[in-house]
Structure 1
Amino acid sequence: MADIYFTGTGDEAADRKIRRDLAAGKLQRVAQGVYIDPGTETVEGVILRNWTKIAAHLVPDGVVTDRSGIEARPFRDTPDHVPILFMSAPRSRAKIKLPGLEIGIRQGAGPVAEDIPFLGTHLASEARRLLDNMTPSRARTGPARTLGPDVVEKRLDSLCTTHGVSHLNVIRDNARAIAPLIGREKEFDALDAMISMLMQTREGKALTSQGQARVDGSPIDPGCIGRVVKLVEFLQTRAPLIIPNPDISPERGRAGAFMEAYFSNFIEGTEFAIGEAVEIVFEGRIPENRPADGHDVLGTYLQLVELGQRSAIATDADTFIDEVQERHRNLMTQRPGIQPGVLKTKPNQAGNTAFVHPDLVRGTLREGVNVLRSITDPFSRALVVHFLLVDVHPFNDGNGRISRIMMTKELLAAGLSRIIIPTVFRSDYFDALRALSRRDDPSIFVRSLEFCQKVTAACSASTIDQAIDGWARSYGFCEDSRNARLSMPNPALEVVMRNGIAAPSDYWTSIGASRPPDILA
């Protein structure tokens, strides 16, 4: 990596060496007392990587604040693509321009009590950066110096979620102490009123939907709602997918509900051979050694054959939440340890994905239902219902199954085909969810479920045996997705049952399994 050097630090020997290297062409001077040896790195890259050291050298009496205090870095989305760092210092207003970085200095207080030593310079304390950003920006051109009261309100709400309501009192006390030192008495009055409003000790109208939700007693997770909105926006760019529900007879409805219940549990780790699942659902043979698992499959099936015809947009938010809780209570009744029907009280996560904080579950679901009510296309609405419940993860367990049940209810209420996620598609399905929840990319999720719906409709059958055969011809039961891909059912394939798994013979050959004698077709 390239190195950066400074003169005027008090080390005269080092200063002489820097001057000699500059004269020899080994170094490049980029500002008063600032030199770099870029090597293979660009000058702009060296400067941006070392912005804290440069700020400490060029503005030793300054503090990083305003929007840079909130973001803790230079603002990069400028019209000329040159990042700008905003600082306050007891000197005249000035701009320091370097290759790839501009330092905008406003006349104001330097570091005060509570400001944070930050890699050589100082970063404004939480209270100070909020006070400074309560000031409207006067910028006529270029980026706004401050983020404004609406961003402050959102940040206060987030701090309330992560640190508790009492933390807002700590911020207020610190802000009250430093406001006279930095000339922000008026801003403190506004901040004080905002904090009181969010703590529901003073009436007022919030500036943001996030803040208003907390004032109303139902704070939301803006990240989750933002992902839901991205999904809606992507769906609006696509032509509506209309695949009519083929399960129009009671027999087909029962077969479809059974296959969905089987696969919905299998991909969540409740694994049975398909023959065992048939015995559980249609013969009442709950395994003695796995009674809770057996009731999970049966409970999912019973819900899927009694969904009702009411869409989520036909109810208010609280009725929707009540229904989800009641369905979860019925589904997980044999698992009292996970508190069936009770919204979570402790945070949960899967791998690196942290779901919505318990304090924000109810408010986020309410806001999500408000988004749902704006969607007219039932297929889109079904996908949004599913993702909302997955991303919130409102219960200790069973969230995936409940989310898919609610998706199916939405589809069937509109006369559309259900969407089944078979075993072979498990990894693809979870990857699609992660693409949206972690990378804000809804495209994979939407296309994956569109394809699964096409296969599901093609596998519709009037008997359980025929449904099993159809899914076997789609490679649906295959657990090794490296050697099988979900496809439309192919009637020309020879299906073989091995260890309770029905799959095409070429699948067994590909994984090196010997062919058993039980040939289904």
Structure 2
Amino acid sequence: MLIFRTATNRTTLANAVRSGRLVRLDEGIYSTDTQTDPIVQIQQNVPRVLAYLRPGCVISHHSAILEDFGAADGLVIVSDPAVAQSYLHHLPGLKVLAVKGPGPVVGDSELTAGGVYAASVWRAALENLEPRRRLRALGRSIVAPPPEIEAFLARRMTTSVEAEGFLQGVNLVMRESGQWSAECARVSTLVQSRLRQMAALAPGMSPWVDHQRVRLFEDLANQLLRGQFGNEAFWGGRLLDFPSRPVPGDRRFLNLAFYESYFSNYIEGTEFAPEDARVIALEERQDKAQSKEGHDIRSLYRLYADPESFLREDHSPDEFIANLKFWHARFGEHIDKEAIHPGRFKDKANRAGGTWFADPAQVEGTLRVAWEIGQHLSEPFDRAVFRAVSTVSIHPFLDGNGRITRLAAANVLGRAGKMRLMIPTVFREDYILALRAFSNGNPVPVIRMFQQAARITTSVPFDRSFPELTQWLRERNAFLPPEEAKWRPAPEESDLRPTKKPKPSCFSGPGTYD
């Protein structure tokens, strides 16, 4: 955990360094982790470091379109209205370039409370279309190279809905900030060109399928088949067997069902202590003020804990789609969920930040193509990863998409009699960043993220009593937010390694879908 120097703790920090309880990473930056390389610690805590160095700044320009903000490349660019001229901070393994620019504007997202913001995709597009300025201190421009900008914009305009929504977003940023009028005009030209291209869609390309997403799904399937990113460790029976139904005298099934549903709800903001959530899920007691959240906890747990609901088969795209609608209807069957249209696909476009998901008219067709692509995967772990990522990328419902798609992935493993994939709160940021990377065209982080989730879940002693199991998870930091802690491996956790040579890629796509 990082600790930053203030006017009142200088002496305390110095004493802690002398006694070996802290290590000094850089001027004013200390850590309780005395073993991990300072470079790694700095790169893993970029938002908190920036909040110390440049409170109120916005991660901007080229850094704003990179999945890790440029930490892996050793450079993060921020806009800061407080600087008179560009300033370069040198840290272990990282440079932070502060350029004069506006603070947070409409759409920018806050990464740390009262500290650092990330530019919205709309602002990022406008900033990266600014005239290229080569800075002598860097030997490069602060804006992305033209091919990267083109790819970034293309990913946000895969349908007419996305293209028009993106144009609305950049216009809003321009109006609210009073800046980037010339850049906004360029975006408008690009959007109009994109709309003309989509109007002249090539013959054989169905308008009812999101072909941009299909290409992402094909790439993910190919990478899973190659088995080079950790998933090969779970081939050939290496993923542990696990009860797919409750067994008398065996706590494992219901303990996992509870914690799968608990952490899945927590990812989406339903934040209860595990003991309180268990009372709501099992004993149907809750405060009236917690009605909606209490229903979410109870309905999702009941889906995981009921084999007849949880283990539904899908031998065709029709059955798969029917299962998604069934689970969504069961999840949203209480009165507080009427607005999300339980059991029905969305009737309007939805997005997370600046990322638009599949057009409503393309949801069912794209789900069918995803099901067909998934049939090329033979290993239960690979099929579950593909099911989770492809379905959530489509976002077929108005709400509840994350919870239902994680349930769909668990269904794949449950039907195979294998250990499912639990994502503790401490691992939430890795999960979200990996999905964001996939949306940006990189499937590798989601494969690595899910194999880490499998390692974690495999290590959990689900055969213990609920209080013992909960205490074990607390000792591993499972319930802490990722900015406060990391997962603490148990002494008995094993290092799962591949037992096979990687398979060559053999998936060339499903052909044309009308």
Q: How far did residue 306 of structure 1 move?
A: 2.3
Quote the residue 1:459 is aligned against: 460
Q: Is the 8 A contact 1:243 1:454 kept in 2?
A: no
Give the Cα–Cα distance (whole angstroms) in 2 for the partners of residues 322 and 344 of structure 1. Answer: 15
1:94-121 residue CA offsets vs partner (Å, 9 max, x unmatched)? xxxxxxxxxxxxxxxxxxxxxxxx99xx
1:429-467 residue CA offsets vs partner (Å, 9 max, x unmatched)? 1001001112x1111111111111111121132232232
Aligned counterpart in structure 1 of residue 241 of structure 2, from 242, 245, 254: 245
- Taking a change above 3 Å as real, the CA distance of residues 338 and 350 of structure 1, as seen in their structure-2 partners, is same
Quote the residue 2:394 is aligned against: 392
1:376-404 residue CA offsets vs partner (Å, 9 max, x unmatched)? 11111111110111100001110000000
**Stretches (4+) displaced over 6 A:** 309-313
Give the Cα–Cα distance (whole angstroms) in 1 for the partners of residues 272 and 294 of structure 2. Answer: 9
- Taking a change above 3 Å as real, the CA distance of residues 309 and 237 of structure 1, as seen in their structure-2 partners, is farther
1:16-70 residue CA offsets vs partner (Å, 9 max, x unmatched)? xxxxxxxxxxxxxxxxxxxxxxx999xxx9xxxxx9xxxxxxxxxxxxxxxxxxx
Aligned counterpart in structure 2 of residue 412 of structure 1, from 411, 414, 419: 414
- Taking a change above 3 Å as real, the CA distance of residues 40 and 442 of structure 1, as seen in their structure-2 partners, is closer
- Taking a change above 3 Å as real, the CA distance of residues 433 and 312 of structure 1, as seen in their structure-2 partners, is farther
Larger Rg: 1
Q: Which residue identity lines up with residue 239 of structure 2 in the other structure?
A: I
Q: Is the 8 A contact 1:235 1:380 kept in 2?
A: yes
Quote the residue 1:275 is aligned against: 275
Q: Is the 8 A contact 2:243 2:418 kept in 1?
A: no
Q: Is the 8 A contact 2:311 2:414 kept in 1?
A: no
Q: How far did residue 287 of structure 1 move?
A: 2.6
Q: Residue 236 of structure 1 aligns to a residue in which SS?
A: helix
Q: How far did residue 159 of structure 1 move?
A: 2.6
Quote the residue 2:486 is aligned against: 485
Quote the residue 1:336 is aligned against: 338
Q: Residue 226 of structure 2 aligns to a residue in which SS?
A: coil
Q: Residue 415 of structure 1 aligns to a residue in which SS?
A: coil
Q: Residue 487 of structure 2 aligns to a residue in which SS?
A: coil
Aligned counterpart in structure 1 of residue 210 of structure 2, from 198, 207, 221: 221
Quote the residue 1:233 is aligned against: 222
Quote the residue 2:285 is aligned against: 285
Q: Is the 8 A contact 1:455 1:489 kept in 2?
A: no
Give the Cα–Cα distance (whole angstroms) in 2 for the partners of residues 245 and 285 of structure 1. Answer: 34
Quote the residue 2:257 is aligned against: 257
Q: Which residue identity lines up with residue 435 of structure 1 in the other structure?
A: A
Q: How far did residue 207 of structure 1 move?
A: 5.0
Q: Is the 8 A contact 1:313 1:372 kept in 2?
A: no
Quote the residue 1:448 is aligned against: 449
- Taking a change above 3 Å as real, the CA distance of residues 333 and 314 of structure 1, as seen in their structure-2 partners, is closer
| TM-score, L = length of structure 2 | 0.53
1:26-175 matches, within 5 Å, as 159-160=198-199
Question: Is 1:424 the equivalent of 2:426?
Answer: yes
Q: Which residue identity lines up with residue 278 of structure 1 in the other structure?
A: R
Give the Cα–Cα distance (whole angstroms) in 1 for the partners of residues 135 and 243 of structure 2. Answer: 65
Aligned counterpart in structure 2 of residue 468 of structure 1, from 470, 495, 504: 470
Give the Cα–Cα distance (whole angstroms) in 2 for the partners of residues 384 and 372 of structure 1. Answer: 7
Quote the residue 1:305 is aligned against: 305
Q: Is the 8 A contact 1:245 1:457 kept in 2?
A: no
Give the Cα–Cα distance (whole angstroms) in 1 for the partners of residues 359 and 374 of structure 2. Answer: 21
Q: How far did residue 375 of structure 1 move?
A: 1.4
Q: Is the 8 A contact 1:470 1:489 kept in 2?
A: no
Q: How far did residue 332 of structure 1 move?
A: 1.4
Q: Is the 8 A contact 1:307 1:409 kept in 2?
A: no
1:267-316 residue CA offsets vs partner (Å, 9 max, x unmatched)? 11011111110111121113311112111111111111224599898421
- Taking a change above 3 Å as real, the CA distance of residues 491 and 354 of structure 1, as seen in their structure-2 partners, is same
- Taking a change above 3 Å as real, the CA distance of residues 254 and 287 of structure 1, as seen in their structure-2 partners, is same
Q: Which runs of 5+ in 1 are unaligned?
A: 1-38, 46-50, 52-117, 127-153, 161-167, 169-194, 196-205, 493-521
Q: Is the 8 A contact 1:342 1:395 kept in 2?
A: yes
Q: Which residue identity lines up with residue 394 of structure 1 in the other structure?
A: P
User: Structure 1 vs Structure 2: percent identity of aligned residues?
Assistant: 29
Q: How far did residue 326 of structure 1 move?
A: 1.1
Q: Is the 8 A contact 2:239 2:381 kept in 1?
A: no
Give the Cα–Cα distance (whole angstroms) in 1 for the partners of residues 242 and 323 of structure 2. Answer: 26
1:140-199 residue CA offsets vs partner (Å, 9 max, x unmatched)? xxxxxxxxxxxxxx998x735xxxxxxx7xxxxxxxxxxxxxxxxxxxxxxxxxx9xxxx
Q: Is the 8 A contact 2:437 2:443 kept in 1?
A: yes
Q: Residue 363 of structure 1 aligns to a residue in which SS?
A: helix
Q: Is the 8 A contact 2:223 2:444 kept in 1?
A: yes
Give the Cα–Cα distance (whole angstroms) in 1 for the partners of residues 303 and 384 of structure 2. Answer: 17
Q: Which runs of 5+ in 2 are unaligned?
A: 1-133, 141-145, 147-184, 494-514
1:405-450 residue CA offsets vs partner (Å, 9 max, x unmatched)? 0100101111221111111111111001001112x11111111111
Give the Cα–Cα distance (whole angstroms) in 2 for the partners of residues 40 and 437 of structure 1. Answer: 31
Aligned residues: 301
Q: How far did residue 222 of structure 1 move?
A: 0.8
Q: Residue 321 of structure 1 aligns to a residue in which SS?
A: helix
Q: Residue 290 of structure 1 aligns to a residue in which SS?
A: helix
Quote the residue 2:326 is aligned against: 326
Quote the residue 2:34 is aligned against: none
Give the Cα–Cα distance (whole angstroms) in 1 for the partners of residues 473 and 413 of structure 2. Answer: 20
Q: Residue 251 of structure 2 aligns to a residue in which SS?
A: helix
Q: Residue 289 of structure 1 aligns to a residue in which SS?
A: helix
- Taking a change above 3 Å as real, the CA distance of residues 40 and 397 of structure 1, as seen in their structure-2 partners, is closer
RMSD: 3.5
Give the Cα–Cα distance (whole angstroms) in 2 for the partners of residues 403 and 235 of structure 1. Answer: 19
Give the Cα–Cα distance (whole angstroms) in 2 for the partners of residues 267 and 376 of structure 1. Answer: 29
Quote the residue 1:89 is aligned against: none
Give the Cα–Cα distance (whole angstroms) in 2 for the partners of residues 316 and 466 of structure 1. Answer: 42
1:488-520 residue CA offsets vs partner (Å, 9 max, x unmatched)? 23589xxxxxxxxxxxxxxxxxxxxxxxxxxxx
- Taking a change above 3 Å as real, the CA distance of residues 313 and 284 of structure 1, as seen in their structure-2 partners, is closer
1:374-393 matches, within 5 Å, as 374-393=376-395
Q: How far did residue 470 of structure 1 move?
A: 2.6
Give the Cα–Cα distance (whole angstroms) in 1 for the partners of residues 466 and 311 of structure 2. Answer: 28
Q: Which residue identity lines up with residue 397 of structure 1 in the other structure?
A: D
Q: Is the 8 A contact 1:333 1:340 kept in 2?
A: yes
